Chain A
Amino acid sequence: MSDRIAYINARLLDPATGTDGPGDVLTIGDEIADVGALFGGGLPDGSIVIDCGGHCLAPGLIDMMATLGEPGREHKETIATGTRAAAVGGVTTVIASPDTRPIIDEIALVEFVERHAQATGQVRVLPAATITKGMGGQEMTEFGLLMEAGAVLFTDGYKSIVNAQVMRRALSYASNFNALISHHTEVPELVGDGVMNDGETATRLGLSGIPGIAETIMLERDIRIVELTGGRYHASSISTADSVAVVRRAKDKGLRVTCGVAPYHFALNENEVGHYRTFAKVSPPLRGERDREAIVEGLADGTVDVIASHHRPEDPEAKRLPFAQAAYGAVGLETLWPISLELYHKGLVSLLDLLARLTLGPATILGLPQGRLARGAPADLLIFDADTPSRIDAATFQSKSKNSPFDQRPVQGRVMRTVVSGATVYEQRS
């Protein structure tokens, strides 16, 4: 069997070069060998030919934040089920959140994730490690050694580092290795016993509110520290209009600051909580409509660099509870691309810009060779149909957990084929 595969008759989309037009891709083994109008309608010799039927062909998606359950939370997700979900969602690289049990803060644990992903993963899994030991917010982990072991970024998951001195030293020390610090920005005292966005809806429901300033104050603090230390900083998930403005200002100043958002923050607002729908309980919380609009603007103008699934699988026992007691989080690997495509269909973000937030954006921040259709780049591809309507059905998810706020949502566009290292890991059958 040939290791040459020709993807012909495609609409090529590559944010790295701004390409949007008909063409073909040739992969040899696990690399992209050529891109362009390669075959002029004639079939290449000695290759397996995959006819894309005019569908879009783009770099595979890179998801900067997903919880894969292993080790320790195998009843909610495993690397096998999580990466199968990724494959269905067109995601070819997943950055695995270190917020597992045990927490990934040691070289051996980073290596465990890598080994286990090699053995059971369907797509590339790149481990993240924590910023502080045990996510305790006090002692730094071994950034240098952990990077050598394969950690691609440092994050304390959905926990914020409250102590400004710890964050200052972490950013300062990380700059030594050009390590990326990805931070969930919330002042815990301002979150308090809050469980949803502070405002009219929370007041009506009798739920404690989380004010937007809980996020913005921590973000502004971090940016001051970045200014002081010169570290490389990524705000993992921002949710408010104020945060978008803060990041925009930091970028205008030329600071090495980037930020990401989760699809629910540009697709939903706090009304989704309705009558205590715990699937709409996420962190940071769903915000007001004006915040949602600002996130969309940020995505359109490039203030927001990254869309990440923030896939957070939870079993029914953790969600079938009174709202205040229910776990935070939503699964998102399988809905990441269809929900993102809504912004394109509404004419708010161009298809190339949207793809950039899911390919080139994270690839650039993480220094990865994938995320582009270039000779020599890893043969990680996403072939999708941008238009066919369907309905999200959580019951069909490959993920072990079904906690999606998007269940039964009508969407447009679907993944037709996902290719990792030159091999098809998912193909739409119908």
Chain B
Amino acid sequence: MMAFYFARLVEIYPFFLKGLWMTSKIAFISLLTCTLLGFVLGIFRSGNNRILKFIIGIYVSFVRGTPFVVQIFIIFFILPEWGIQLEAFPAALLAMCIMGSAFICEIVAGGINAIPKGQWEAATSSGLSLIQQLRLVIVPQAMRVILPPLVGQYVLLIKDTSVVSVIGVMELTRVGWVTVVRIPEGLMVFSLVGILYFSISYPLILLSNYLERKMAV
């Protein structure tokens, strides 16, 4: 029986690749957007505008203090009641972007706050504009602090894409669910799912470890 199911699994292998492709697509787009948004939010969070800091603080706390599944449900099931109807795929991307940006915001703000005040003062005194100070002096130094946890966060976010299966996006985990109905060999099916996730996240784990060692010097 086992051999039979294995043969079936090999047969529908392309289905898994499609799921992997969808997972990669969600991961890639959401990592890109939430990195951009996270940096912008993080820079403001470490800045001097108290009102902005406060609002971003609330945003971050809310996102960090609620389960991701609940956030997805709010976006997918509750927003439509206010007239904002999203397809599953964009809803998944939006949810990922909101969650990811909040975590990345904290990492970026932490990195920028770790730069001594004197660096800002030296850059200010030399006549650099605020944007130039950030771009040329502060952020390049903060990257040493930011990069290792940022890549670690990427790994977490990639794994969190599995949660969007709850709203029916046909990504890797969803593919596993659908398959296990036809091929009732859970261990086999979800081992395959696990291996495929691992194939994307492991290189990033290695990168994170490498960066941690390199930046520590």
Chains A and B form a bound pair: no
